[in-house]
Amino acid sequence: MSAKDELSGPFSRRFVAVGDSFTEGVGDIDPSSPNGVRGWADRVAAQLISNDPSWGYANLAVRGRKLEQVIDGQLDAAVSLNPSLVTMYAGGNDILRPAVNLDALMQRYRWAAERLADTGARVLLFTGFDSGKAPMFRATRGRTAIYNEAVRKIASDLGLDLVDFWHMKHLQDWRYWDADRLHLSIEGHIVMAKEVLRVLGEPDEIDEPEMEEKPPAALHRQVYDELTWTRDYLAPWVRRRITRRSSGDHLDAKYPTLTSRVW
């Protein structure tokens, strides 16, 4: 048996996900899953395996990672798994920093996408979400728009698949977002999983999320919610930026090796 066959194991098709919290699944809380979260990538993998049991799945994403950390910590591992399909979302945490060199960032992004494409795998990229209606992140909307144009150009130049998160305007409904207002909720991850499967042209048996209507909150409740969010999410986020710490410190990848057990 060749080294390549040994790496492949029993799987003739291999889905490898790389990136940050978006791909790790933060917001889709599931105590039974590694790191306590499930997420769209796990849901896509479960559907792929249901469609064809020859699929194996690895998720190398870790929350808080910037692009260079994704490249340094995940690309070699992804390539070594001999992928058939790779998804990559990276750069969002760079955009949220006080200063970022977008030209340099996207040059490195292109290099990473090219390296993944050179494996012969099908590669799927994502644009960033339109944060125009998100008070905390509205100021980064221009950066994200520039990032998105570069991602679209890279996908077009290299013949890669693209999920255009920016144009998924229905996700501007806050019910699709976690309480931290930064990560998709369970419902949001379900919608993203269905969109990824649509772009891949794969059969999709995932049920649409059930959304509960929320009555308008009274003013005093709105004030209380803002204060609670500031205390529980905004302040810790700012503190991590100041101290140069990450929410992913001391966390490992959920599925560093190929598996078919993602339920």
Q: How many domains does the chain have?
A: 2
The more confident residue out of 244 and 16 is 16
* Residue type for position 9: G
Tell me, yes or no, whether 77 and 186 share the same domain.
yes
> Given 208, 225, 258, which residue is the final one in a domain?
208
Residue with tokens 């929320």: 214
Residue 1's pLDDT is 33
pLDDT tens digit sequence for 79-134? 999 999 999 999 999 998 889 999 999 999 999 999 999 999 999 999 999 987 76
Indicate whether 21 and 132 sit together in one domain. Answer: yes
Task: With respect to residue 263, please indicate whether it lies within any of the assigned structural domains.
Answer: no
Q: Is there a single domain that holds both residue 229 and residue 123?
A: no
Helix (H) or strand (E) holding 209: none
pLDDT for res 2? 38
Question: How far apart are alpha carbons 85 and 95 in whole angstroms?
Answer: 26
Q: Which helix (H) or strand (E) holds 125?
A: strand 122-126
Q: Does one domain contain both 176 and 54?
A: yes
Q: Domain check: are 203 and 144 in the same one?
A: yes
List C-alpha distances in Å: 103 to 43, 98, 203: 33, 16, 38
Cα 111 to chain centroid distance, Å, stands at 19
Per the domain annotation, does 257 fall within a domain?
A: no
H/E stretch holding 87 reads: strand 85-89
Question: Would the pLDDT of 137 be above 90?
Answer: no
Spatial distance between the Cα atoms of 222 and 133, rounded to a whole number of angstroms:
16
Position 259 in a domain: no
Q: Which residues, other chains included, contact 189 with Cβ-Cβ below 8 Å and sequence gap of 6+?
A: 25, 27, 28, 38, 39, 40, 43
Query: What pLDDT is stored for residue 251 in this prediction?
Result: 86
Domain match, 222 and 94 both:
no
Specify if 20 maps to a domain. Answer: yes
> Is 237 inside a domain boundary?
yes
Query: For the domain that residue 171 is a member of, what is the CATH number?
Result: 3.40.50.1110
pLDDT at residue 230, as a whole number: 56
Q: How confident is the model at residue 262 (pLDDT cuts 50, 70, 90)?
A: confident
Judge if 30 and 47 occupy the same domain: yes
In a domain, 261, yes or no: no
pLDDT band at 139 (very low <50, low <70, confident <90, very high): confident
Q: What is the pLDDT of residue 136?
A: 66
72 shares a domain with 186: yes
Is residue 262 one of the residues assigned to a domain?
no
Q: Are 163 and 201 in contact (CB under 8 A)?
A: no
Question: What's the pLDDT score for residue 218?
Answer: 65
Q: Are 104 and 134 found together in one domain?
A: yes
Would you tell me the crossing angle of helices 102-117 and 141-158 to the nearest 10 degrees?
Answer: 30
pLDDT one-digit tens code per residue, 22-34: 999 999 999 999 9
Same domain, 35 and 131: yes
Task: Give the pLDDT confidence score for residue 177 in this predicted structure.
Answer: 84
pTM (predicted TM-score): 0.87
Whether pLDDT at 193 is above 70: yes
23 lies in the same domain as 150: yes
- What confidence tens digit (pLDDT) does each residue in 223-254 have? 555 556 556 555 565 666 666 666 656 789 99
Whether 8 shows a pLDDT value over 70: the answer reads no
pLDDT tens digit string along 183-192?
899 999 999 9
Judge whether 105 lies within some domain.
yes
Q: By residue range, what is the domain housing residue 193? A: 3-208
* Selection from 12, 81, 175, 166 nearest residue 190 by Cα: 175
- Judgement on whether residues 194 and 220 belong to the same structural domain of the protein: no
Q: What average pLDDT does the segment 155-184 reach?
A: 91
pLDDT of residue 5: 39
